[in-house]
A and B are shown apart, each in its own frame.
Chain A
Amino acid sequence: MALAMTSTLALGFLAACGNTDSASGGGSSSETVKIALQAPMSGGSATLGEAIKNGAAMAVEEEKADFEEAGFSLELVEYDDQGDPQKGVSNAQIIGSDQDVYGVVAHLNSGVFIPSSEVYERYNIPSVSPASTATDVTDRNLKSVNRIVARDDFQGPAGAEYAVQEIGAKKIFVINDKTAYGQGLATAFAEAAAEEGAEIVGEAGITVGEKDFNGVLNQVSSADPDLVYFGGLYSEGGLLIKQARDNGIDAAFMGGDGMDSSTLVEIAGDTVNNVYLTSVAGDSSATEFAKNYEEEYGAKPESFSIYGYDSAKVLMEGILDAAKENGGKLPAKDKVATAVRAIDDYEGEMTQVSFDDKGDNEFAKIFIYKFDEASYPAKIQGEISQ
């Protein structure tokens, strides 16, 4: 509370300063620093993109004062990537050619971030993603590319740890949907669960688009597991859960973030209880941020809003660090990229941030959710650190 008061005071003071500056007519001291934002603001995932944008906009608004003090005027520029890699890359070109852009809060979709980041790298503009989880985002070892959420390949092991240690599963049946995502997730889970000491009593695959999974479920009922793990998406996941319950299988189910959808609940209906999900996004509803967000936008933040906020904050922290090193003058963009990568133990609202040498956040967590009734979203159960 006290903090908020001082910052408002500081704001007022600085605003006054700015006025006198422009009145005296000499004010070339304030150079423009732009933070760019790219997220899908139209199309299927527009709600999430919009949420990330709102989070980042709040962060920029809050930092304006600090930047003013350092002699920079801060600005957020928004681009709609439409969830489309081509659109993302062409926006990235525009961002790259803008001299004033010193950082990008970059993309919801990994598929868009990966090609666009090649462009950012060329212009040495540091990017921090609030939501891209694909391993390839950071595995290319680009020096400007970072993310604050966990990697995809941590979801399986984190789920396994929770399943064995917290749920107490001893016999686990693993099903995948034969896609790259589902199979990768299921394999990583199975290996980690076996290491944790659980017995994998069966593995099976289903075909995306089919609706009858009774054959596989017959295998499940004769193996009689206490947990079924499904690597795949909500439409098959929902049917699998429903048909399993119809067949009298009451074991717990677990899946990855591909199952995190309200459609899962619609398909499975009341049978959705005792279903666990792993997700890279945590529950921000209890934070100060959520309160401010609701005041500002009149709606509750989405899961990734707070990650948009933290990503923007991390970027701006990096810019200020680099400026300090450069004697208070605007640094070169590659120096900013280095400074962002060097960020250590930054306390964000949602997550602590320290980037490793690839740009992955060492403090990124996997969050475990559970459905107890036919309502979405699921309730948070716990978190697993890397």
Chain B
Amino acid sequence: MTQVWDTLPQVLIDGLTLGAIYAIIALGYTMVYGILELINFAHGEIFMAGAFIGTAVLIGLTGLGWVAVMPAIFILLLVLVITGGLTGMLGMGIERLAYRPLRKASKLITLITAIGVSFLLQDIVRFITETQQNNYIVNTPSLFPGSLSISGLNIRYSFLVVIIVAILMMIALEFFVNRTKWGLAMRAVAQDQDTASLMSVNVNKVISVTFFVGSALGGATGVLFAIHYGTIDPYIGFILGLKAFTAAVLGGIGNIRGAMAGGMLLGLLEMFAAANLSAITAGLLSSEYKDVFAFAILILVLIFRPEGLFGRAAIEKV
């Protein structure tokens, strides 16, 4: 047990990093679900594309000599904005080309289309990467090297960057959804598309904006991920996307605050299990069962609160 207490602060730090990344990706799932009731499985791949675009921009800026002379924080903002803009447009384009023609089709067909889009994105990115170098694993230059060491606790500078940027993005999204006209329109469309359109809300445009915002956030998270972990490949979106989707369900899918809380909780649970599972079970279960542990908790939560932690039970529309 002492080992559990000793490692707890480090586990919290590592768990928060992973949790923040899950949380922002979960936002993308939950926003699209809230408005279209579509599980956009391609969202994990948008995150991955963001990681690659961000890395490419960063390598490009390094080549231009900007990284050496400008403050890292400015470079980070620049990369985040460029990447967010591009992945936002990517998300919008996918919606326009792949989902909008199927909006009246059954949910299952759109879901399968989303899975198809995600394979397509994986292989496009792999193909482009392989034309640049002979394998598809890419190393991102580290923008914030080094770490703080406080009484045995290891805090990397990039951890602080990930956490701060993630929190800022979540606050900005809260503001956007609750305080702006577009946010109001989004909430209206989520509640009832037909009525919203009668109130002169341009439904197609609102859906496009939703995809743009969700994908831009996902892409920006990809940049944070690439900077923090330093190595990316075209398949990172799959597992992370799955976990983020789980986080969205845990928090109550369709609910923005729920996605944030769900992501953080899942990240912490997973990291805690990976570090302590063998200590707690006296060696019976080792860290490879961390996902089982995290998902067992998910199942428990859903048994007692099927609508998720923050969700409200949907009233059947008659």
For A202, give the chain B residue with the smallest CB separation.
Answer: B278
- B52: shortest Cβ distance to chain A, in Å? 14
- A210: shortest Cβ distance to chain B, in Å? 6
- B246: shortest Cβ distance to chain A, in Å? 14
B126 sits at the interface (CB 8 A): no
A246 sits at the interface (CB 8 A): yes
Q: In the complex the two chains form, is A222's CB within 8 Å of B11's CB? A: no
Q: In the complex the two chains form, is B18's CB within 8 Å of A212's CB? A: yes
Q: In the complex the two chains form, is A210's CB within 8 Å of B239's CB? A: yes
With A246-B156, A247-B154, A267-B139 already in contact, the answer to whether A215 and B231 are too (CB < 8 A) is: no
Taking CB atoms and an 8 Å cut-off, the chain A residues in 231-272 that contact chain B are: 235, 238-239, 242, 246-248, 263, 266-267, 269
Q: In the complex the two chains form, is B147's CB within 8 Å of A246's CB? A: yes
Q: In the complex the two chains form, is A263's CB within 8 Å of B275's CB? A: no
How many chain B residues touch A (Cβ–Cβ < 8 Å)? Answer: 39
A214 sits at the interface (CB 8 A): yes
Q: In the complex the two chains form, is B236's CB within 8 Å of A204's CB? A: no
A90 sits at the interface (CB 8 A): no
Q: In the complex the two chains form, is A215's CB within 8 Å of B273's CB? A: yes
Taking CB atoms and an 8 Å cut-off, the chain B residues in 267-312 that contact chain A are: 270-276, 278-279, 286-288, 290-291
Q: In the complex the two chains form, is A204's CB within 8 Å of B288's CB? A: yes
Q: In the complex the two chains form, is B239's CB within 8 Å of A209's CB? A: yes
Q: In the complex the two chains form, is A215's CB within 8 Å of B135's CB? A: no
B235 sits at the interface (CB 8 A): yes
Expressed in whole angstroms, the Cα–Cα distance for A320 and B291 within the complex equals 59
Query: What are 22 pairs between A and B in contact, CB < 8 Å?
Result: A178-B288, A203-B286, A204-B274, A204-B286, A205-B286, A205-B287, A205-B288, A207-B239, A209-B239, A215-B287, A215-B290, A216-B275, A218-B275, A219-B276, A221-B10, A222-B7, A235-B137, A235-B231, A242-B230, A246-B156, A263-B135, A267-B230
- Chain A positions within 8 Å of B, measured between CB atoms, are 178, 202-207, 209-212, 214-216, 218-219, 221-222, 235, 238-239, 242, 246-248, 263, 266-267, 269
- Chain B positions within 8 Å of A, measured between CB atoms, are 3, 6-7, 10-11, 14, 17-18, 135, 137, 139, 147, 149, 154, 156, 225, 229-233, 235-236, 238-239, 270-276, 278-279, 286-288, 290-291
